[in-house]
A = this chain, B = another copy of it.
Amino acid sequence: MFTTFRGGPSGAWRVTALSPVKGAALAAVHSLSVVHSEAIALPLLPSPTSWRLAGVASHVRYVERREKTLLAQTQAGLGRPEASCAALIPIRKSADWWELTQEERRRIFEDQSHHIATGLKYLPEIARQLYHCRDLGEPFDFLTWFEYAPQHASRFEDLVRALRATEEWSYVEREVDIRVTRIDLAG
C-alpha cells in the first residue's frame, strides 16, 4: 500500500507554511492531498506549481520490543476529528548514514538521540505515521506525517525542535517542513 502526497492547486489540506529546513525547498503550493493506493502513483511531469511524494508505511526498523509495545499502547490513530492541524516533513539522510550498519544507526537514533523516547513524550496528542521511500527512487528517504489538534500546536513545535537538536539530525541533508490545516467542508 503506497501513500502519495500531492502538493498543488487542490486537496483536502490547505498549506499554511512550507519552509526548507536544510537543502532545497519544494515549490510553494496552495493545497495538499493524501491518497492511499495499491500501485505506486506515477511521478508527475516536472511542474513549477506542483509536486508529488510517495512512500510506504513499512515494518519498524529501530524500535525494540518494549518500545514497540509502549508505542502501540500509547499512540493515537490518524484521522481524529479534532486533529485539524498536520505537518508533512520529508527528510533525506546522507550517504554517511546509509553506510552505517543497523546497530550503529540504532545507537545514534535512540541511545544518543532518544528519537523514540522523545516521540513517546508527545503521545497521544501528536499522532505520527512514517512512510519509507528511500528504496522507491524518491527524492527523500522518509516522509513523516503528524496530526494534532490546534491546542497542541506548541507541543508540536517542541517536538520538532527536540528532534532537530540531536546527533541523528546531523545526518539529515535535506528537510522540508510543510504545515497544513484540514479544509472543513462541513464548515
Binding site for B on A (CB under 8 A): 1-2, 38-40, 56, 58-65, 68, 98-99, 101-104, 106, 132, 134-137
Contacts and interface: CB of A to CB of B under 8 A. Distances in A.
17 contacts: A1-B137, A39-B137, A40-B40, A40-B136, A56-B137, A58-B134, A59-B99, A59-B134, A60-B102, A63-B101, A63-B102, A64-B101, A64-B102, A65-B104, A68-B101, A135-B136, A136-B136
B101 A106 contact: no
Stoichiometry, as copies per complex, reads 2
Contacts of A64: 101-103
Contacts of A68: 101
A97 to B, nearest CB: 9
Given A64-B102, A136-B136, 19 more contacts: A1-B137, A38-B137, A39-B137, A40-B40, A40-B136, A40-B137, A56-B137, A58-B134, A59-B134, A60-B101, A62-B102, A63-B101, A63-B102, A64-B101, A64-B103, A65-B103, A68-B101, A132-B135, A135-B135
A110 to B, nearest CB: 11
A102 B1 CA distance: 21
A136 B102 CA distance: 21
A38 B136 CA distance: 10
Nearest to A63: B101
A132 B2 CA distance: 16
Contact of A102 (B98, B99, B102, B132): B102
